[in-house]
Amino acid sequence: MRFRFAVRVMAIGLAGAALGLAWNAVSGRGFALGANVMIKQGDEVVPVAQARVRIEAGALALDARPVDFYAMQHIPGALSLPEDDFEAAFLRLEKRLRASSDVLVYCAGFGCEASHMVSRKLKERGIPAAILEEGWPAWQDAGYPVKAGSEP
Amino acid sequence: MIRPSRKVVEWALGLLLGAVFIYASVEKIWKPADFARIVYHYQLIGPGREVGPLPANLLAVTLPWIELLVGLLLASGLWRREAAAVAALMLVVFLGAVGSALWRGIDIENCGCFSVSGKGRQAGIQLIAGDLALLGAAVVLARPRARHTIDDTRP
């Protein structure tokens, strides 16, 4: 009886998993299992070392995290363009953004999608913007300079 | 012997819990990529520096169908104990995920419980309480039905 119970429990799990995989393959609503769903076609994702080179060469960094996080610490020179307050912040920064030839957006890391969203919103407005891979934690862990306070 | 009152209670609990699981699965099945995005937000099984997106994607693709299957079984009464055990297992995992997100200070705006688009339920104490109630129901349903079956005399 216990054995049958365990077998059935596993059968439910396996059948569900099989249905899920099949649905993902044939329904047309699925996605590539090896790819990050946050990254869409056309997104430019840049590793941290390359991002630093570009920023030092004059690229404009944008912090897409909520403004409180920016005030705690940010990449030196980065401007705050929070995803949760995009429209207002964009109006403030539009001139600077349009004058920059290279723009890089970052947010709070792998689980964070704010940088992707800001990058796409900028692209819709005609401003190409790359995304810093793994965002702020990658920058911090690499030991690159950081700055506290609400000034860039 | 099973008393009729227990039978009724099991039937009602199964229907209730089953309905919750079926409802929870629908939007995730319809929008798997949006659900994957929510799994990422938990930052438990990647994608991260060491793990690629595959484990999180596999979870996002398979979990909703296990939920649907469990919901259908619970509601119909077929394999009810086994389905309830799987439900309890899933709820323990959900509780662990939400608890760990709260513990690590990760702000999960949408827990991915029922809705995957826009603002869903925030992962917080209320959600944990709700999950615990469902877990209670699942445990009740997963209990062995009668204590005096022949199999229980086995070592």
Segment A107-150, tens digit of pLDDT: 998 888 899 999 999 999 999 999 999 999 999 999 999 999 99
Put simply, the answer to whether A31 touches B48 (Cβ < 8 Å) is no
Position B120 scores a pLDDT of 74
Banded model confidence at residue B6, pLDDT cuts 50, 70, 90: confident
Position B20 scores a pLDDT of 98
Q: Report the amino acid identity of residue B134.
A: L
Chain A residue numbers touching B149 (CB-CB < 8 A): 1
Place of tokens 């760990």: B100
Put simply, the answer to whether B29 touches A23 (Cβ < 8 Å) is yes
Put simply, the answer to whether B53 touches A109 (Cβ < 8 Å) is no
Put simply, the answer to whether B33 touches A20 (Cβ < 8 Å) is no
* Tens-place pLDDT, residues A29-64: 999 999 999 998 889 999 999 999 999 999 999 999
Q: How far apart are CA A38 and CA A104, in angstroms?
A: 17
B48 interface with A at CB cutoff 8 Å? yes
B65 interface with A at CB cutoff 8 Å? yes
Query: Is there a domain that residue B154 lies in?
Result: no
| Best CA proximity match to A20, nearest among A6, A9, A30, A10 | A30
Higher pLDDT, B125 or A19: A19
Position A6 scores a pLDDT of 96
Query: Is there a domain that residue B152 lies in?
Result: no
Give the pTM: 0.86
Domain count, chain B: 1
Put simply, the answer to whether B57 touches A34 (Cβ < 8 Å) is yes
Closest residue in chain B to residue A32, using alpha carbons only: B57
Q: What is the 3-state secondary structure (H, E, C) of chain B?
A: CCCHHHHHHHHHHHHHHHHHHHHHHHHHHHCHHHHHHHHHHHCCCCCCCCCCCHHHHHHHHHHHHHHHHHHHHHHHCCCHHHHHHHHHHHHHHHHHHHHHHHHCCCCCCCCCCCCCCCCCCCCCHHHHHHHHHHHHHHHHHHCCCCCCCHHHHCC
Q: How far apart are CA B54 and CA A35, in angstroms?
A: 7
CATH architecture observed for domain A45-141: 3-Layer(aba) Sandwich (3.40)
Q: For residue B41, what are the domain limits? A: 4-147
pLDDT at A91 over 90: yes
Query: Is there a domain that residue B120 lies in?
Result: yes
pLDDT at A88 over 90: yes
Position A49 scores a pLDDT of 96
Cα distance from A83 to chain B (closest Cα, Å)?
14
pLDDT at B145 over 80: no
Put simply, the answer to whether A12 touches B61 (Cβ < 8 Å) is no
Q: Least CB-CB distance to A9: which of B52, B82, B152?
A: B82
B53 interface with A at CB cutoff 8 Å? yes
